[in-house]
Structures are given as structure tokens and as C-alpha cells.
Amino acid sequence: MGSIVNTLAVIAGGVLGLLLKKGLNESYEKIIMSALGVSVMFIGIAGALEKMLVITDGAISSQGAILLSLSMASGALIGEFLKIEDQFEKFGGWLKEKAGSKDSRFIEAFVSTSLTICIGAMAIVGSMKDGILHDPSMLYTKAILDLPIVMVFTATMGIGALFSAIPILLLEGGITLLASFLAGVMTDAVIANLSMVGSVLIFCVGINLFCPFHVKVANMLPALITASILTFIM
């Protein structure tokens, strides 16, 4: 139920965003997009620092820098080789064609929104709790958070953001179904490092929203897998 409720919340946010979009002119869209980019960057920073900073005897130190660097670098190489971003955009283009949309920002909205709501720790941990413990509470909480996020994305970037409901259902639903097999792999250390790397990827999404240049965030997604592997190795 957690995955279904989260998907319905994304759809509801998208519909509300479309209604809100009718009352926004271009200047409002630009300022909201800038504000959204800064917000997403700080969400990513907060999530990463939460896992990297440690207080020991009153002194603040950091951890995980080497694992983060290795995960991001190796993951980016794998993603670039597999051309994940291109495949993501092709899927967005296919959805645009099937939806009969003429929105020039459809693919951008779909990719940016999907990455923002899919790669956080709540999606992974919440889906596992739903599958193993039959406790969907974390996904319910995430649904409440995702609704306004998708609403703002849709209002500023267009209908493509609404279609992020598809990858969120596939990701969370898939993890929930496979949770019993993943239980032995998803240790506390793995989850912590997944959260750290995922937060850095969310920060990169914020850069794309705020800055004129483009970071191929989708090509960095394999960093989540390499982070899990490196956790066991290191």
C-alpha cells in the first residue's frame, strides 16, 4: 500500500500543479524554479552531511569522503558507458509521444522530478519496511512530502513532472516485492551510505534546476550500487 499511496500522491500533486500553472506567468515560473533549485540543493546537502558529520567528544569530524568519491567516480563511469541519461530521456520522449503532449519541457520535467523523488533514502528504506515488516508509515510520510514537491515541479516545468508517478511506482513497488531478498544485504552501513550518495545526487538535481549548465545525474545513478559494494569491501 505504501507504494500505491505514494504514487497517488504524486499524481495528485501533478494535477494540482497543472491547475496552478494556469495562473503563473513566465516571471513567476522563473523565480519559483530558482527557489526550487536552491531548496533541492539544501535538501541534498543536509542529507549528505547528516551521514558524513560525526560528533566525538564534542569535536566534529567527517567520514565517508573516500567511499563517496570512489562511488561517484566509478558510478559515473558505468552510467556514462551505459548512457543511462539518454535512455531516461528516450523513455521520457516515448511517454511524451503516447501522451500526445507538445510541451517543450516535458522530458526535462519528467527526468528532474523522477530523480528528485526516487533516489532519496526514504524511497529505499520505506519500501523495505513495507515489504518486510508490512509497515508503510515511512512511505506515507514520503507521500505527504512528495505531493507539494511534484505540484511545484508541475506548475513550473509542465505536465512531464506528473509522469514521475511511473518510476516511483516501479522503484518502490519493485523494492517492496524484493524486500525479503534484500534484507540480508541492506545493513545499517549500506543504508547510511546509500543515503549519503543519494543526497549528493539530489544536490546535483538542484544544480540542474538552478544553473544554466547540465549535470548528467542519471548517468551517476550506478553510484548507488557501487556505494553498496564498496561498503562491504571497505
210-229 pLDDT, tens digit each: 887 788 989 999 998 899 89
The Cα–Cα gap between 115 and 157 comes to 14
The Cα–Cα gap between 139 and 167 comes to 15
Q: Side-chain half-sphere of 211: how many Cα atoms within 13 Å?
A: 11
Q: Output b/e per residue, 45-81; b: 16+ Cβ within 10 A.
A: eebbeebbeeeeeeeeeeebeebbebbbebbbebbee
CB 151 within 8 Å of CB 11: no
How high is the pLDDT of residue 33?
81
How high is the pLDDT of residue 96?
93
- The position carrying cell 500533486 is 13
Mean pLDDT per 10-residue segment, the chain (234 residues) = 95 92 77 86 89 85 91 94 92 92 90 88 85 89 91 90 95 89 80 88 88 85 91 86
CA distances from 121 to 22, 23, 28, 153, 158 (A): 33, 34, 31, 20, 26
Can you read off the three cell numbers belonging to residue 36?
A: 526550487
How high is the pLDDT of residue 162?
94
**Strand, coil or helix: what is 215?**
coil
CA distances from 31 to 36, 214, 233 (A): 9, 19, 45
Alpha-carbon 25 to chain mean position: 27
Burial of 143 (0-12, 13-18, 19+ CB in 10 A): buried
Beta partners for residue 59, in sequence order: 56
